[in-house]
Amino acid sequence: MTTETYAEVMAEWEKQRLADLKNPTGYLSLVGLHWLQLGENSFGSAGTNRCQFPAGLPHEIGRFIVAEDGISIEINSDVTVIQNGEQVSQMAVLSDRDKGGPTIFEIGTVNWFVIKRGDTLGIRVRDSNSELIQTFVGVDRYPAEEKWRIQGAFKPYDQPRIVPVPTILGTDEDYISPGTIDIEVDGEKRSLVAFKEADPKRFFLVVADGLSGSETYGGGRFLTTEPVDDEGNIVLDFNKATNPPCAFTPWATCPRPLAENKFSVKIPAGEKVYGH
């Protein structure tokens, strides 16, 4: 594509990136993350609760009950909580890893739901009117250059593999990898581990380089490929490398780059560190 066309493509991409970040259900809306234990887990804004929710909500909203065979919720009779447009008092709860989940509960602009990371359960709390959404103006980034739009070769496995990926929590989480991407960046050759995306022709990667921890986020950056063609040719546009949610909020649970996905060369492209 021409330089002028590519500039237009990147301008539109950056506009959509900002809109996605400020979306009421995006990661800038996160205002809490509380890990659950077996048994009762009280929640509300009072400090006496096991899970302390943001100020402004009822002091004692109810309790999550974690059992070996599932999760349920009980809401105090003097509190109005909405689930799927209806007031609820008690019900079974699905996590974000369950089919049909997660079950989302609301009070005003605040909602919450259960996440599962490995064998651990937690309550993720979001506020569509969070301070970060209201004050966020964007992320510094390197000027886009087509030289960082690099072609690689997708090498599928005979069968997709389950790959344990380290997270910022210090745990591992299983990701599905359909194959690797052979690529050369500034003379450094890598066989990057690619992860499954909703679009079967695109892949998700967590990458790091010689600027990680200084000019870019130390925990690596996220990158989604362009569609692979029938011959396995695929483009990685490092101008579209983005900060993971953990760069913006302490309430996210981000994967870290595998050793195979760490470049020693510097890649001055994409988003710079946000400064969280």
Tell me the domain boundaries of the chain. 27-135, 139-261
pLDDT at position 1, please? 63
Q: What is the CATH number of domain 27-135?
A: 2.60.200.20
pLDDT at position 162, please? 97
10-residue stretch averages of pLDDT, the chain, 276 residues long: 82 94 91 97 98 97 96 98 97 96 97 93 96 91 96 98 94 95 97 97 98 96 98 98 94 95 98 81
Residue 264 token pair: 């020693």
Q: How many CA atoms, within 13 angstroms, populate the side-chain half-sphere of residue 111?
A: 17
Contacts 24+ apart (CB under 8 A), 170-175: 171/117, 171/118, 171/120, 172/118, 173/117, 173/118, 173/255, 175/255
pTM over 0.75: yes
Judged by phi (left if over 0) then psi (alpha if -120 to 50, else beta), residue 90 lies in beta
How far, in Å, CA of 191 to CA of 153, rounded? 9
pLDDT at position 276, please? 46
In 258-272, which positions are buried (b, 16+ CB within 10 angstroms) versus exposed (e)? beebbbeeebebbbb
pLDDT at position 93, please? 98
